[in-house]
Amino acid sequence: MSKYITTPIYYVNGEAHIGHAYTTFMADTLTRYEKLKGEDTYFLTGTDEHGQKIEESAQKNGKPTQEFADEISATFKNLWDEFGICYDQFIRTTDEDHKKGVQKAFEVMYAKGDIYKDFYEGHYCVSCETFFPETQLIDGEYCPDCGRSTSVIKEESYFFRLSKYENALLDHYSQNPDFILPRSRANEVINFVKGGLRDLSVTRTSFTWGVKMPESMHDEKHVMYVWLDALLNYITALGYGKDDAKMNYWPASTQFVGKDILRFHAIYWPAFLMSLDLPLPKQIGAHGWWTRDGEKMSKSKGNVIAPKEVADVYGAENLRYFMLREVPFGQDGDFSQRAFIDRINSELSNDLGNLLNRIIGMSGKYSEYEIDSVDVAKFHKKELDAMNSVLDSLDTYMENLQTHRYLEELWRVFAIGNKAIEEHAPWVKMKEEKKDEALATVALVANILAKASIMLSPVMPKITNVIADALNFKIDNSSYQELILDKKLLKLFNIKVVPPLFPRVEEPLMPEAPKAMLETKPKEEKKEVKAEKQEMDNLIEIGQFFETSLKVGVIVEAEEVPKSKKLLKLQVDLGEGTLRQVVAGIREYYEPQDLVNTQVCVVANLKPAKLMGMTSEGMLLAAKDEDGLCLVRPEKPKKAGTPIG
C-alpha cells in the first residue's frame, strides 16, 4: 500500500518560522520512516498564494502580487531544500495545473447540486480568510480566532452545501476513531459539527486575486474562496482535473496540520471530497503550537524564531531532534534555548555520541578496529533481548505520530549499551585475558548503535549515515529488514574512526545564538564582574601570551600508570608525524578508554618533564572547580595540530 503524506501549504505573507518547520519535519520524518519500511511514498508540500491576505501583504511591500508570491514561495522552497526535506512535489496554488484542477472540482460539485448561488452578508476576518456569525464575534466586532477587527461584507456568492454532509461526517468520525490524531482533538470537531453546519460561501466578488471561475459557469465576477482553492491542492498535485497521473496515491495516509486549521481539514475538506466522490484521507494529524513565552508564534505577531538562524548555530538535525523529542504531538510547546541545549548535551552528546567514541576507542585498542559479532549472543543475551523488545515497540509510536515517545524509547537502547560497558568492563576483561568477552561487549555496542541509527535515521538522516558509514553498513530498507526485523547482527568489519559527532554546546552560550532564543541569566553576572576585577591586577602583554604554543591534540592511546591514583599516560597526536607522550593528573576524573579519540587542548612548547619516571612532553588544558575537573576541548572537531590562539 502506498503512503501519501502532506503538510499544509504555507501562506506566502511572510517567511517560514519554527512552527512551519515543525510541521514539515514531522511530515519528512514520517515519510522517511515509511520509506525505510519499504513503502512507496509521496510527500507533498508547497505554498498557498491566493486570497485577500496575500494581496494586502504584497501591496504593503509595494510589489505586484505574483512577484511577491514568487519571492516568498521561493524562500520556503529554498529553506526545505537546505534542510534536506525529501518532498516529492512542491505545489504552488498559482500553478496553472492546480488552478485547472480547482475549476474542475467546482464543476463536479456544481453538477452534483452541491453548489448554488445566493447572497452572503457576514462578518469577515481577512487574516483568517473566514466568515464568522455575529454570535461568535468578540464584542460584536472582533474575530474569535485571531482577535482582529472583522468587516461586514455583503456580496453575491456561490455556496457549498456543507449542511448536507453533517450526518455523513459524524458517521465517518464515529466509524474511524483514528481519523483525527491525537484522538483528544476529535471531540472539538465532533461538537462543532453537532452544533450544526451552515453552508459555506465558496466564492468572492470583493477581490480578484484568486482562481477564476470555470468558463462553463459564465460568471467572471467571482473568484474561488481561498480555502476551497487551497484544500484542493492535495489532489490537484496528483493530477486531479488533468490526467490523474498520481491519483493512485489518494487517499492520503497522513495529512499534517496545526490545530488552528484542523476544522478546515476535518470538516470542510472531507465534505468536499464526499461531494467529489473521492475517499477521505486516512488520518489528519493535528499538532499544537510552538509558543514564545506562552504566546503562539506567528508571522503577524512578529514573535517568530527563524529556523535557519537556529540551524546555523546548533545544526539542522539537532533542531529536528529537539522539536520532535520535546513536545508530545498535539500539545503546545515553548521553544526554550535552555531545553534545547540540555537535550543536545545530555542525549545526543552524552548518551549517543560518547557511546560511539567509546567503542571506536576500545576497538582500536583491543582489536585494531575489528568488530566481530560472533560472541555477542553468547555473552549478551540479556542485553540483546532488552534491545529487541525496545526496537519492536517503536513502530506503534511512529504510527501514532508520537515522536517524543518514539525517541524516548529509542534512547533506552543507548542506556542498555552504556550499562553493558559499565557492567562488563571490557578493559578489566582484557587484563584478565578474556579477550573474547571484551570484544563481545564492544560488538554488542556496535550493534546497538547500528540498529539505533537505522531507527533514528528518519529524524536525523545525515548524521545517522555517518554513523552507519563508520559501522560499515548502509541505512536502507534491506538493512532495516536484516538488522531490525530479522534481528541479525553486523557482519565482521573494521570500524572507521570518526571525530566526535555531537559536540557539546558549552556555556556561556554561543554569542551568535539567535537573539529571540537568548535568555537572560542575571545570577551569573556578579561572579563574572568579580573575576574580571581580580584579573585586572595581574595583566600580561599579548606577546607574553603568544609565547605559549597551544594546539589541538587527539588522544590516540590512554592508560593507567601503575601505582598512581592520579596519573594517566597518554599518547597524543599533535599532527607532527610522531605521537607525544603526555602524563596528566586526570585519573580521578576520566577512564582511560573514554579519552581515546577525543580532542584536547595541549600546551605544546613546555620543556619535557619527568613524572614518576616517565617523560611528559606537554600539558593538557583543564578546568577545575568544586564539582571536579574537566578537560578543555575544541567546540567543534579540528585537525590534530591546529594552533589555538
Contact flag: residue 335 with ligand ME8 (CB under 6 A): no
User: Exactly one of 3, 4, 5, 9 binds ligand ME8 (CB under 6 A); which one?
Assistant: 9
Binding mask 26-65 for ligand ME8 (x = CB under 6 A): ----------------------x-----------------
Closer CB to ligand ME8, residue 327 or residue 604?
327
Return the C-alpha cell found at 627: 564539582
Return the C-alpha cell found at 389: 523488545
Query: Please, which of residues 242-261 interact with ligand ME8 by CB under 6 A?
Result: 257-258, 260-261
| 3-state SS, residue 603 | strand
Return the C-alpha cell found at 60: 504593503
Residue 625's contacts (CB-CB under 8 Å, 6 or more residues apart) are: none
| Least distance to ligand ME8, CB of residue 173, Å | 20
**Stretch near ligand ME8 under the rule CB under 6 A, chosen from 230-238, 414-422, 433-441, 466-474:** 230-238
| Least distance to ligand ME8, CB of residue 296, Å | 5
| Least distance to ligand ME8, CB of residue 180, Å | 14
**Stretch near ligand ME8 under the rule CB under 6 A, chosen from 19-27, 74-82, 403-411, 543-551:** 19-27
Return the C-alpha cell found at 346: 545530555
Contact flag: residue 8 with ligand ME8 (CB under 6 A): yes
| Least distance to ligand ME8, CB of residue 229, Å | 9
**Stretch near ligand ME8 under the rule CB under 6 A, chosen from 2-10, 97-105, 276-284, 519-527:** 2-10
Contact flag: residue 516 with ligand ME8 (CB under 6 A): no
Contact flag: residue 357 with ligand ME8 (CB under 6 A): no
Contact flag: residue 101 with ligand ME8 (CB under 6 A): no
Return the C-alpha cell found at 240: 486531479
Return the C-alpha cell found at 592: 582511560
Which of 324, 319, 458, 471 lies closest to 395 in space, CA to CA?
A: 458
**Stretch near ligand ME8 under the rule CB under 6 A, chosen from 83-91, 225-233, 437-445, 551-559:** 225-233
Closer CB to ligand ME8, residue 327 or residue 459?
327
Closer CB to ligand ME8, residue 23 or residue 373?
23
User: Exactly one of 3, 5, 11, 284 binds ligand ME8 (CB under 6 A); which one?
Assistant: 11
User: Exactly one of 79, 230, 271, 311 binds ligand ME8 (CB under 6 A); which one?
Assistant: 230
CB 39 within 8 A of CB 76: no
Contact flag: residue 405 with ligand ME8 (CB under 6 A): no
| Least distance to ligand ME8, CB of residue 117, Å | 25
Closer CB to ligand ME8, residue 301 or residue 419?
301
Contact flag: residue 417 with ligand ME8 (CB under 6 A): no
Say how far apart CA 341 and CA 337 lie, in whole Å: 6
Say how far apart CA 401 and CA 34 lie, in whole Å: 12
User: Exactly one of 298, 345, 441, 457 binds ligand ME8 (CB under 6 A); which one?
Assistant: 298
DSSP 88: S
Task: Let me know the angle formed at the C-alpha of 136 by 135 and 139, rounded to the nearest 5 degrees.
Answer: 85
Closer CB to ligand ME8, residue 262 or residue 484?
262
Q: How far is Cα of residue 378 from the mean position of the Cα atoms in its chain?
A: 38
Classify residue 6 by burial, with Cβ atoms within 10 Å: 0-12, 13-18, 19+: buried
| Least distance to ligand ME8, CB of residue 420, Å | 39
Which of 502, 613, 615 lies closest to 564 in space, CA to CA?
A: 613
| Least distance to ligand ME8, CB of residue 42, Å | 17
Residue 148's contacts (CB-CB under 8 Å, 6 or more residues apart) are: 125, 126, 127, 142
| Least distance to ligand ME8, CB of residue 520, Å | 23
Say how far apart CA 446 and CA 451 lie, in whole Å: 9
Closer CB to ligand ME8, residue 71 or residue 469?
71
| Least distance to ligand ME8, CB of residue 129, Å | 8
What DSSP letter does each residue of 200-226 carry, written as one string? EE-EESS---SPBPPGGG--TT-EE-H
Contact flag: residue 237 with ligand ME8 (CB under 6 A): no
Binding mask 115-154 for ligand ME8 (x = CB under 6 A): ----------------------------------------
| Least distance to ligand ME8, CB of residue 573, Å | 46
Contact flag: residue 19 with ligand ME8 (CB under 6 A): yes
Say how far apart CA 476 and CA 459 lie, in whole Å: 14
**Stretch near ligand ME8 under the rule CB under 6 A, chosen from 18-26, 150-158, 534-542, 563-571:** 18-26
**Stretch near ligand ME8 under the rule CB under 6 A, chosen from 228-236, 270-278, 308-316, 420-428:** 228-236
Classify residue 564 by burial, with Cβ atoms within 10 Å: 0-12, 13-18, 19+: middle
Which of 255, 244, 224, 266 lies closest to 102 in space, CA to CA?
A: 224
Instruction: List C-alpha distances in Å: 345 to 43, 97, 298, 412, 416.
Output: 32, 47, 29, 17, 19
Say how far apart CA 484 and CA 476 lie, in whole Å: 11
| 3-state SS, residue 22 | helix
| Least distance to ligand ME8, CB of residue 482, Å | 36
Which of 612, 558, 613, 598 lies closest to 580 in space, CA to CA?
A: 558
Closer CB to ligand ME8, residue 47 or residue 367?
47
Residue nearest to ligand ME8 (CB): 19
Which of 140, 105, 110, 101 lies closest to 123 in space, CA to CA?
A: 140
Task: Report the amino acid identity of residue 39.
Answer: E
b/e per residue, 252-267, with b = 16+ CB within 10 A? bbbbbbbbbbbbbbbb
544 φ, ψ (degrees, to nearest 5): -60, -40
**Stretch near ligand ME8 under the rule CB under 6 A, chosen from 25-33, 227-235, 319-327, 567-575:** 227-235
Contact flag: residue 20 with ligand ME8 (CB under 6 A): yes
Contact flag: residue 222 with ligand ME8 (CB under 6 A): no
Contact flag: residue 352 with ligand ME8 (CB under 6 A): no
Say how far apart CA 644 and CA 253 lie, in whole Å: 53
Query: Please, which of residues 268-297 interact with ligand ME8 by CB under 6 A?
Result: 289-290, 296-297
Residues in the interface with ligand ME8 (CB under 6 A) total: 21
Which of 388, 280, 284, 272 lies closest to 330 in space, CA to CA?
A: 284
Query: Please, which of residues 614-643 interact with ligand ME8 by CB under 6 A?
Result: none
Closer CB to ligand ME8, residue 23 or residue 479?
23
b/e per residue, 274-298, with b = 16+ CB within 10 A? bbbebebbbbbbbbbbbbbeeebbb
Closer CB to ligand ME8, residue 307 or residue 361?
307
Closer CB to ligand ME8, residue 235 or residue 558?
235
Return the C-alpha cell found at 419: 550499562
**Interface contacts to ligand ME8, rule CB under 6 A:** 8-11, 19-20, 22-23, 48, 230-231, 233, 257-258, 260-261, 289-290, 296-298
